[in-house]
Homo-oligomer: A and B are copies of this chain.
């Protein structure tokens, strides 16, 4: 199975992305719809930030029943810290979508991304929904992916097909988010769809299994959005028989791979990012230990600026590993950067630094820390911290 960073045909879904004028940027798409012809199995995960946006509150409640018929996502306003008015706006917005589609409002999941503390114009939204419904088509997926962009430089899409229970099924997804990214649950907005037939409880498990290695294994800046939402919807249009055993495992791993590809694309397009770095910690006593060390390294501003400067800065990597609070044995630890061993058996290989620096000029490389204390491992995908991260965030109002 191969994951492609482009849309693929998927049965049972229609998409649209239009300019509703919510952003006050003429011509820029800011309202997207994902619609199915009937209520389909759906599962979702949301931010664990204590501050949750109004649409997160509404969608989280609605997804509990396990079915959705539409997703309505807007950019330009996060509809967060907007009190009762914001909650009413989320309800009214999804009611407008339901009315145009002729479905129950409880089957519509609203999502918002953009500036915190601001609402948006409901009349413009309603007009946008009419335009979007008129524009719905099975081949408009990229329009949807564009409508949810904020500081993203391009739409992030991924797709794969996999044969399960004798039928070829598609998995298609898109995501947005470039800053405020260290999802503890899901990144700002991500949508994964499949035409496979699968019941809500199995879909929920599929999502839970895809998360740890995809959206929960990335970081841009260690910051967690108030609007993080990941929705997984299954139209069932592929007409496969019930997924079980090896078929279910194949399907789950395909969803996980599409999710991972989207998550990596978020980091690659991280604010100001020039490099994608996969930090892997091996040989830990427990997965939790490995994860803590990997996150400390992946979030350290000193390590991230060294990535930007193509500086194989062993000292900062070691410092970040040490502050995770996990027991380390400095005589055993092995650090490999871009395939070059920087340190092992308590010694720094200073003659390897020049080659490692050259490897760091590539847009993507790995950093592996082998603690040599056990068998557990963890992997976090991160990016560098560049001048442009500062520029983008000193100038853009979230």
A327/B50 in contact, CB under 8 A: yes
Which listed segment binds B: A59-67, A230-238, A245-253, A301-309? A301-309
The yes or no answer to A390 lying at the interface (CB within 8 A) is yes
A276 CA to B322 CA in the complex, in Å? 28
B116/A223 in contact, CB under 8 A: no
- List A287-324 residues whose CB lies under 8 Å from chain B: 299-302, 305-306, 308-309, 311, 313-316, 318-324
The yes or no answer to A346 lying at the interface (CB within 8 A) is yes
The yes or no answer to A397 lying at the interface (CB within 8 A) is yes
Task: Please judge, given known A-B contacts A315-B78, A343-B81, A343-B117, whether A308 and B348 are in contact too, CB under 8 Å.
Answer: no
The yes or no answer to A226 lying at the interface (CB within 8 A) is yes
Q: For A50, give its contact among B48, B222, B328, B398 (CB under 8 Å).
A: B328
9 CB < 8 A contacts A-B: A50-B324, A51-B328, A51-B330, A116-B316, A179-B302, A222-B299, A222-B300, A224-B323, A308-B390
- In the complex, which residues of chain B have a beta carbon less than 8 angstroms from the beta carbon of A326? 50
A318/B394 in contact, CB under 8 A: no
Q: For A115, give its contact among B222, B226, B315, B323 (CB under 8 Å).
A: B315
- In the complex, which residues of chain B have a beta carbon less than 8 angstroms from the beta carbon of A115? 315
Task: Please judge, given known A-B contacts A301-B223, A343-B117, whether A51 and B389 are in contact too, CB under 8 Å.
Answer: no
- In the complex, which residues of chain B have a beta carbon less than 8 angstroms from the beta carbon of A386? 390, 394
- In the complex, which residues of chain B have a beta carbon less than 8 angstroms from the beta carbon of A72? none
- In the complex, which residues of chain B have a beta carbon less than 8 angstroms from the beta carbon of A43? none
A324 CA to B224 CA in the complex, in Å? 10
